Amino acid sequence: MSLSTWPRGLSRGDVPAQDQAGALADGAVRQPGRRADLDWIRVSAFGLLILYHVGLVYSPFDWHIRSTHTFDLMRQAILVTQPWRLTLLFLVSGAALRFMSASRTAGAVVCGRLARLGPSLIFGILVLVPIQSWIEAMDKGFWSGGLVGWWRQEFSLAGLRDGTPVNHLWFLVYICAYTSVAIPLLLRPGWTQALEAWLERSLGGWRLLVIPAVWLIVARCWLFYYFGLTNQLIGDWYGHAQSLAAFLFGFLLARREAVWQGLERYRWTAFSVACLALPLAMWQSAHPGGGAFHEIPRNTVFAIDQWAVMVAILGFGSRHLRRASTPLLSYLNQAVFPCYLAHQTVLVAAVWLIRPARLPAALEVASLVAVTFGGSLAIYEGVRRIGWMRPLWGLKPTPRRAGGRDYSAAI
């Protein structure tokens, strides 16, 4: 990339002199500090995840616990975020890992991320998830004892043979696994740069819109149709086809400025495609014949919407939010992981406690949203002040100064 096409909003003074002669030799651009747009996307996507889980309480699907109010319309409403939300998070997580690798050794990068994830995953499986599964067992009538008895059963030899539920923490399991998959790329910078350059060439121009969409269409029409989505690490062929691909996509193209320029260039096109695909996907979901032709039309529209929304979000974010770092964003960056860990346990408990009051639907929904967000933030405010608890909730042992260049986000 020549200096005449230097990225908008990035002054040459932000980049070391040895890189200014022609950006970086491999075509990448060194990023000045944190990418605020990726932080906003991460925080927003996890906020939408909480709302999505609240929505499942009112859906006709068999979620962990449900309200007495059920809305069949939720089958279509969840399609607003379901196709792209988690795939986008995997992409952002891969990008964060790549930014971390720019200033650290491979060992430091992998150990740093796994050190943040490992204690939280173990703590969540042993403490947070059993509360959810105990309430679910009580609610569905196959357990009537106390939480301690349930915990002992879950982690007995017989219980462990049947598998230990991880519930929403499956995402952390996948991030750990995908980080391990990226180790060869971290150890071999030359391989990484060659793959980055090849992908950048392969996805130039209109191909950035089409090729990833074709990948997602094939995965949806083939792997999802035959294997479904399990959220279990072993055998989740469709899940890995989209999530691992997104993670590696984010990792390999995070520092390729030409790709970000392409995302910005096609943001309005992608937004227009998404505006057409979403209502069509909703109609296909609602129509009795929506699954015709081996579900190929429905799965194709789902995948097109998935990639179009991701391109639009990444493109608009890169265009407008790269430098939009604020004190609120710094706070939310620290809070997002603990809130992710806590939110589903808070939500399940809130439904269990609020449901007997038989509130009107609108009031119950508002109460659950407020309690879930408020309770999760309250837990964050509590644990961040207790030094020994911080690592259990994905926080560093001691606070660091906000606004630095640290990309060691756990997720």
Q: pLDDT category, 16, cuts 50, 70, 90? A: very low
* Long-range contacts of the stretch 101-108 (C-beta < 8 A, 24+): 101/186, 102/30, 102/31, 102/255, 103/405, 106/183, 106/186, 106/187
pLDDT band at 288 (very low <50, low <70, confident <90, very high): confident
- Residue-wise pLDDT tens digits, 161-204: 878 889 999 999 999 999 999 999 999 999 999 999 999 999 99
What is the predicted pLDDT for the residue at 32?
Answer: 45
What's the burial of 338, exposed, middle or buried (CB within 10 Å: 0-12/13-18/19+)? buried
Reported as a single tens digit per residue, the pLDDT across 48-65 is: 999 999 999 999 999 999
Question: Which SS3 state, helix, strand or coil, does residue 188 take?
Answer: coil
Query: Once rounded to an integer, what is the mean pLDDT over residues 2-17?
Result: 32
- The pLDDT-based confidence of 401 (bands split at 50, 70, 90) is low
Residue 194 DSSP class: H
Q: For residue range 188-244, list pLDDT tens digits in order.
A: 999 999 999 999 999 999 999 999 999 999 999 999 999 999 999 999 999 999 999
- Kindly report which listed range (17-26, 28-37, 251-260) carries the lowest average pLDDT score: 17-26
Instruction: Give the residue-averaged pLDDT of 289-318.
Output: 96
Contact at 8 Å (CB) between 67 and 227?
no
Selection from 31, 81, 18, 30 nearest residue 55 by Cα: 81
Q: Any idea which residue has 């986000």 for tokens? A: 409
> How do residues 113-158 score in pLDDT, each as one tens digit?
988 999 999 999 999 999 999 999 999 998 888 999 999 999 988 8
